[in-house]
């Protein structure tokens, strides 16, 4: 888990021109993003400033990733079931109950 974002990069003046309200808004937006990018360093987060200007780019990209991950997960569950893996083991791997896993992916049986 990454640390909470700090007030800004050291050794730069990119925030010097911001009013206190603009600074507070920018830092809140970085904090919101920081909760999503748990493995990114503070410096990497500050480099993602473009996301603040157009978060739809981020939404579209992650939407594509989610759809791909769902397809891959569905295929992985089908393969596991084909190989005889129990619904209990699949549920454990997905951090859900056996019943939840079977309800979500059970049409493959």
**pLDDT (tens digit, 9 = 90+) per residue, 69-85?**
999 999 999 999 999 99
- Res 108 pLDDT > 70: no
Range of the domain at 13: 1-53
- Do 42 and 71 belong together in one domain? no
- Res 51 pLDDT > 60: no
Specify the pLDDT at position 41: 65
- Do 49 and 88 belong together in one domain? no
- Do 39 and 62 belong together in one domain? no
Phi, psi of 52 (to 5 degrees): -65, -30
Token pair, residue 40, equals: 């990114």
Looking at 38, 53, 68, which one is the last position of a domain? 53
Our count of domains for the chain comes to 2
Specify the pLDDT at position 60: 85
Specify the pLDDT at position 81: 92
pTM of the model: 0.55
- Do 21 and 69 belong together in one domain? no
- Do 108 and 59 belong together in one domain? yes
pLDDT band at 46, cuts 50/70/90?
low
- Do 46 and 61 belong together in one domain? no
Predicted confidence (pLDDT) per residue in 52-64, tens digit: 667 787 788 889 9
């Amino acid at each position: 888990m990454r640390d909470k974002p700090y007030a800004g990069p050291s050794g730069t003046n990119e925030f010097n021109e911001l009013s206190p309200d603009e600074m507070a808004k920018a830092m809140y937006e970085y904090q919101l993003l920081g909760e999503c990018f748990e493995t990114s360093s503070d410096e990497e987060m500050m480099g993602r400033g473009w996301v603040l200007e157009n978060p739809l780019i981020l939404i579209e990209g992650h939407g594509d990733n989610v759809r791909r991950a769902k397809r891959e997960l569905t295929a992985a569950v089908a393969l596991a079931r084909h190989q005889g893996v129990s619904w209990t083991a699949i549920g454990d791997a997905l951090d859900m109950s056996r019943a939840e896993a079977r309800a979500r992916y059970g049409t493959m049986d």
